[in-house]
Structure 1
Amino acid sequence: MRRELMKVWNVLPVAVLVACGNVPSGDKPAEALGQQKQAVLYVPPPSTSGNIYDSTTYLGPVNLGGSVQTYFTQNPQFYSFKVTVPGSITARFEVTHGGSSMNLDTGLMVYGPRSASGSYGIQPYKQDDNYGYGDLSKIDEVPLTAGEYLVVVSSGSGSGKQFRLQTTCLSGACPTPSPVSDTSGVELALSEQSITAQLEATLEAGNDVHHWTEGSLRRFDFAWPYTSPPTLTHADAAVMALQEYSQYAADDAIALSYSQARAYLYSEFDPLHAQILATYGNGTENVQVATRYHEYPVAAGADGWFRLFVILFPQSKKVIVFEQTGYET
């Protein structure tokens, strides 16, 4: 007998992710001005290739004057971001108090400029341990010539903690943001990151409810150095380009608001809905969803139901992919 699997959820409870404090640049507490505790600067291990890029986890480009926010997933860890400098400038790179977790100790390094052979070298051009707020890092008034640089944010004990890297052009040939028209042919480069332990536990609890339904949840970050926001079309195309979701490419994509998407999800995964928004949203951005669906026989007299959700957080620069499957018993 065919079992009806689609269940309607209740009204969305709104949850807001609040950044950890809002201290203006330069408003440094007394303990951070001269009474900082001794900390270790975690520098990426030298690569045998002679290119420090190979000793880091590259998350994409960051434009001057822009920022990126993500979190560490292991200890130690070294995240890298490419910064393109159009001409001689003076810049600042900072792991900011706002947007970073409490009690986080970071390192910050700038490598480059990139050579003609494509290497950033293995010796940092500039580095800092805890010149920023508390044990956070800041490299201030650093002179740079034209070229590509690799900015590395590290931590020895930051697993599960969030950070925000802000780049600032202080003077010189400061670039202007890319115009809206530049995004017409842009493809999102997705970088997969681990989901939080809380979301993992909630997902597993939902999977344990029935043996005939199952959900999977993945998180991807991306860089976006443009003035216009990324679109749901960008996010959907990037996910469809992943081989594991290619079977959905022939299905029609339906665009939904985040609250509308809830009506298409199984009730056993209900707690995920609010948690995803609270974990990855900034409280104000327009979170959008594209969903695709198909069904086909999985055994004699039994069908399978397959639905994919591509969830775009345009300001937080994240794409969450949720897939749910159900089987006729």
Structure 2
Amino acid sequence: MKWIAPVVLLGACGGPLEPVSESEAPEAAMPGTPAPVTPTEEAQAQIAPPPATDSAWVARGGTVAMGGAVQASCGSRPGYDGYTLQATAGTQVRLEVTHAGSSMYLDTGLFLYGPKDANGGYAGPVLFQDDDSGYGELSRIDVATLPTSGEYLVVVGWGNAAGKKYRLQVDCVGGTCVTQPPPAPSGHTLTLLEQPLAPGLQTALDAANTWREDQYAYLRRFDFAWPYTGAAALEQAASAVLAMPLYAGYRADPAPETFAYAQLPSRMYSQYQSLHPALLSTYGRPPETVQVRSSFRRFSTGPNGDHWRTLNVILLPSAYKVLVYEQTGHEI
């Protein structure tokens, strides 16, 4: 049986000054990543998640196993198929509507919900979602870390259906579903995949950013795959963050600090300190040791005065997440 529903389309610190380019603003917006476009046709609007008011918050497509795949027809109208997936806490999966087995020029969306609640539903927020990260306008979620054990719901949505077919592949990319995971290879680098912040955290950050014009903060969340024994190291997380062009200015810090997460509030502007417990309650998997690597930079933009920034890389090893809290200030 298919889950069919109309698709909604959504069209004060010291230190030497460092030089700064004219294009560098103290509160520059985080860069976005353009979605890939099928070269033979115009890009289509994103496919929205299934309506929360839909009465069919159950899997219509059936089940999909870890390491397995399903292929199905979209039908003649835009709609959705849902598939249940059993997983244990900490499982990391890769979900993809694959090029092989899917019709040409098909436009899809992928959504992951769960785990199943006591009422048998999946009507909570979307845990992970993607529109066009796969081939053409197909969808792919490279790493989805499942927080607790239970039954999850993978939903495939489609727009330009016209009787086309799709193929959904589910693969394990983390050590939880590997019988004997190997140790991490020497020199292993983390691949960080950015995910949206939890809505409550984003709301709190936005509110704090309105308090003072000379103080601002950014917060980003990244997931990474870890199919190895042991845990990722803070040095690996910091290296992966500093490799991003946006944070190149921090590479010149000769003495970055490392400290326990409990010490972070004393280094945060007061309006942001409520984020400290909220980050752990949202993303942490206790008990785990959480550490921070902090780098500092100071620069001048000429008549606008001095600017200072602190980059805090927070590693949550058991949750396979890296949080980046960047705090800025400038003279007024």
- Normalising by structure 2, we get a TM-score of 0.55
Gap change, CA 1:301 and 1:190, over 3 Å in 2: closer
Corresponding residue for residue 154 of structure 2: 107
Q: Per-residue displacement from partner, 1:282-302 (whole Å, max 9, x unpaired)?
A: 121101100000112223372
Gap change, CA 1:76 and 1:293, over 3 Å in 2: closer
Corresponding residue for residue 210 of structure 1: 212
Gap change, CA 1:231 and 1:37, over 3 Å in 2: closer
Deviation of 1:230 after TM superposition, in Å, equals 0.3
Q: Give the partner amino acid of 2:322.
A: V
Q: Per-residue displacement from partner, 1:17-43 (whole Å, max 9, x unpaired)?
A: xxxxxxxxxxxxxxxxxxx98532336
Q: Distance in 1 between matches of 2:175 and 2:227?
A: 13
Q: Distance in 2 between matches of 1:47 and 1:225?
A: 22
The answer to whether the aligner puts 1:176 opposite 2:223 as a matched pair is no
Q: Distance in 1 between matches of 2:130 and 2:60?
A: 13
Gap change, CA 1:239 and 1:46, over 3 Å in 2: closer
Gap change, CA 1:249 and 1:263, over 3 Å in 2: same
Q: Per-residue displacement from partner, 1:276-321 (whole Å, max 9, x unpaired)?
A: 1111101211011000001122233721111100000001000000
Is residue 5–residue 326 contact of structure 1 (8 Å, CA) maintained in 2?
no
Corresponding residue for residue 189 of structure 1: 191
Is residue 81–residue 151 contact of structure 1 (8 Å, CA) maintained in 2?
no
Q: Give the partner amino acid of 2:309.
A: F
The answer to whether the aligner puts 1:72 opposite 2:127 as a matched pair is yes
Q: How many residues align?
A: 216
Deviation of 1:257 after TM superposition, in Å, equals 0.4
Gap change, CA 1:306 and 1:76, over 3 Å in 2: closer
**Which of 146, 151, 173 is the equivalent residue of 2:170?**
151
The answer to whether the aligner puts 1:39 opposite 2:36 as a matched pair is no
Q: Distance in 2 between matches of 1:37 and 1:207?
A: 37
Give the match's secondary structure for 2:220.
strand
Deviation of 1:328 after TM superposition, in Å, equals 1.0
Give the match's secondary structure for 1:268.
helix
Q: Per-residue displacement from partner, 1:103-158 (whole Å, max 9, x unpaired)?
A: x860399xxxxxxxxxxx9545xxxxxxxxxxxxxxxxxxxxxxxxx5169xxxxx
Deviation of 1:262 after TM superposition, in Å, equals 2.0
Is residue 96–residue 140 contact of structure 2 (8 Å, CA) maintained in 1?
no
1:87-106 equivalent positions in 2, closer than 5 A = 98-99=148-149, 106=153
Is residue 259–residue 291 contact of structure 2 (8 Å, CA) maintained in 1?
yes
Give the match's secondary structure for 1:273.
helix
Q: Per-residue displacement from partner, 1:145-191 (whole Å, max 9, x unpaired)?
A: xxxxx5169xxxxxxxxxxx99656xxxxx53213xx3421110111
Gap change, CA 1:168 and 1:74, over 3 Å in 2: closer
Q: Which runs of 5 or more structure 1 residues have no equivalent in the other structure?
A: 7-35, 58-69, 83-94, 110-120, 125-149, 154-164, 170-174
Is residue 291–residue 309 contact of structure 1 (8 Å, CA) maintained in 2?
yes
1:243-258 equivalent positions in 2, closer than 5 A = 243-251=245-253, 252-258=255-261
Gap change, CA 1:56 and 1:151, over 3 Å in 2: farther
Q: Per-residue displacement from partner, 1:185-222 (whole Å, max 9, x unpaired)?
A: 11101110000111011101111110011101100000
Q: Which structure carries more relative contact order (alpha carbon 8 Å, separation 6+)?
A: 1
**Which of 308, 322, 327 is the equivalent residue of 2:325?**
322
Deviation of 1:74 after TM superposition, in Å, equals 4.7
Q: Distance in 1 between matches of 2:307 and 2:268?
A: 15
1:308-319 equivalent positions in 2, closer than 5 A = 308-319=311-322
Give the match's secondary structure for 2:314.
strand
Q: Which runs of 5 or more structure 2 residues have no equivalent in the other structure?
A: 1-11, 15-55, 62-80, 83-94, 111-124, 133-138, 157-164
Is residue 216–residue 329 contact of structure 2 (8 Å, CA) maintained in 1?
yes
Corresponding residue for residue 300 of structure 2: 297
Corresponding residue for residue 285 of structure 2: 282
Q: Give the partner amino acid of 2:236.
A: H
The answer to whether the aligner puts 1:266 opposite 2:269 as a matched pair is yes
Give the match's secondary structure for 1:106.
strand
Q: Give the partner amino acid of 1:220.
A: F
Corresponding residue for residue 232 of structure 2: 230
1:10-25 equivalent positions in 2, closer than 5 A = none
Is residue 45–residue 55 contact of structure 1 (8 Å, CA) maintained in 2?
no
Q: Give the partner amino acid of 1:72.
A: L
Corresponding residue for residue 122 of structure 2: none
Q: Distance in 2 between matches of 1:106 and 1:200?
A: 25
Corresponding residue for residue 67 of structure 2: none
Q: Give the partner amino acid of 1:315.
A: S
